[in-house]
Amino acid sequence: MTAPLIEARALCKSFGPTPVLRDVNLSVEAGRAAAVIGANGAGKSTLIRLLAGLSAPSLGAALLFGEPARSLRPELRRRVGLLSHQSMLYPNLTARENLEFYATLYGVQDARAVAIEWLERVALGAAAEARVRGFSRGMEQRLALARAMLARPDVLMLDEPFAALDADGAALAAALVREAMDRGCAVLASAHSAGALAELGFAVFALGRGTVMSAEAAAARRSAARPALARQLS
C-alpha cells in the first residue's frame, strides 16, 4: 500500500473550551477519494482547514505528503488544491485575470493560455472578461473549482464541491473530480450527504460528535439508537 498523501492522525481541534474534532483518523492514498459527511457544525470545514494547513491542530497531526500541513515546503504546496466555502477569488478582477494570477503563483507555464483553457472547461469561456463581482454563486463555484485544479494538484481538498451548482454544473464538477482521481490525485471532500460523491467512488465517512467513522458504522449506530428511543417514548 502506498503512503497516504492526505492523513489525519489522532487529530483534535478545540476552539477555546469547545472541542470540535476528537481523535480523527483518516488517510487518503494517491488515486483514492474520501468523503466526509455530516450535519452543519459537525466540523467538516474545520477538518479540511486543518489538513490544508490553514489552521493548527490542538493535538495530533495533519499531514500532506507525510509532512505537517502547517509547515509544508513551497514545492509541496504547489501540489495541493483547495476548494473552500469562500471562493478565494478577487471580485474586481475578471475570471481570466483571477485564473491567470493563480496560475502564475503556482508556476504554471503559459498562465494565460491555461486560464483560458480552464475557463472553457468549466463553461465560463463566455464570461472570461467579466468581473467576478457580477457572477452568480454557481458561476463563482465553477471558477473556484477551476482555480483549485488548474495547477493539476496531486492533493485536492473540496469543501462541499457541489454547493450552489445546478445539474449541469454538478455534472461538470463530477467529471473534473473523476479526471483528477484517474490521474492519481488524492481527493478529500466534504458534504452534507453522500449522494453524488458515493457515485464517484468516494469512500464515505461520517463526522459526528467530533469523530469520524465509516458510513456503515454511523448507520448502525443510528439504527441501534432508534429502538432505545422508541422504548423511552413508550
Partner 1 sequence: MTSFVAVLRKDLLLEVRGGQSVVALGALSLLVLVVLVFAFNPGGGEQGAEAAAGALWVALVFSGMLGATRAVSAENENGCIRALLMSPLDRAALYAAKLAAAFIFMAVAEAASIILMVLFFNLEFDARVLRLVPAVLLGALGFAALATLLAGISSRLRGGDLVLPLLAVPMFVPALIAGVKASASALSGAAVGEFAVWLKVLVAFDVMFVAAGYLLFEYVAEEE
Could you list the residues that contact partner 1 (CB under 8 A)?
49, 52-56, 70, 74-75, 77-78, 80, 82, 84-93, 97, 101-102, 104-107, 147
Smallest gap from Cβ 131 to partner 1, in A, equals 8
Smallest gap from Cβ 27 to partner 1, in A, equals 20
User: Under 8 Å CB-to-CB from 219, ≥6 apart: which residues?
Assistant: none
- CB nearer to partner 1: pick between 46 and 206: 46
Q: Grid coordinates representing 167?
A: 445539474
User: Dihedrals φ, ψ of 232, to 5°?
Assistant: -65, -40
Smallest gap from Cβ 213 to partner 1, in A, equals 27
- CB nearer to partner 1: pick between 93 and 163: 93
Smallest gap from Cβ 97 to partner 1, in A, equals 7
Smallest gap from Cβ 117 to partner 1, in A, equals 19
Q: Grid coordinates representing 67?
A: 509532512
Smallest gap from Cβ 20 to partner 1, in A, equals 12
- CB nearer to partner 1: pick between 92 and 223: 92
Cα–Cα distance measured from residue 193 to residue 175, given in angstroms and rounded to the nearest whole number: 19
Tell me the CB-side half-sphere exposure of residue 72, using CA atoms within 13 A. 25
- CB nearer to partner 1: pick between 15 and 166: 15
- CB nearer to partner 1: pick between 89 and 207: 89
Q: Grid coordinates representing 4?
A: 497516504
Cα–Cα distance measured from residue 140 to residue 124, given in angstroms and rounded to the nearest whole number: 10
- CB nearer to partner 1: pick between 133 and 183: 133
Query: Where are the alpha helices (H) located in 151-234, listed in sequence order?
Result: 167-182, 195-199, 215-233
| Spatial contact of 169 and 138, defined as CB atoms under 8 Å apart | yes
Q: Grid coordinates representing 5?
A: 498523501
- CB nearer to partner 1: pick between 119 and 206: 119
Smallest gap from Cβ 192 to partner 1, in A, equals 20
* Residue 59: count of CB within 10 angstroms of its CB: 14
Q: Grid coordinates representing 77?
A: 504546496
Identify the bridge partners of residue 123 per DSSP, sorted by sequence position.
none
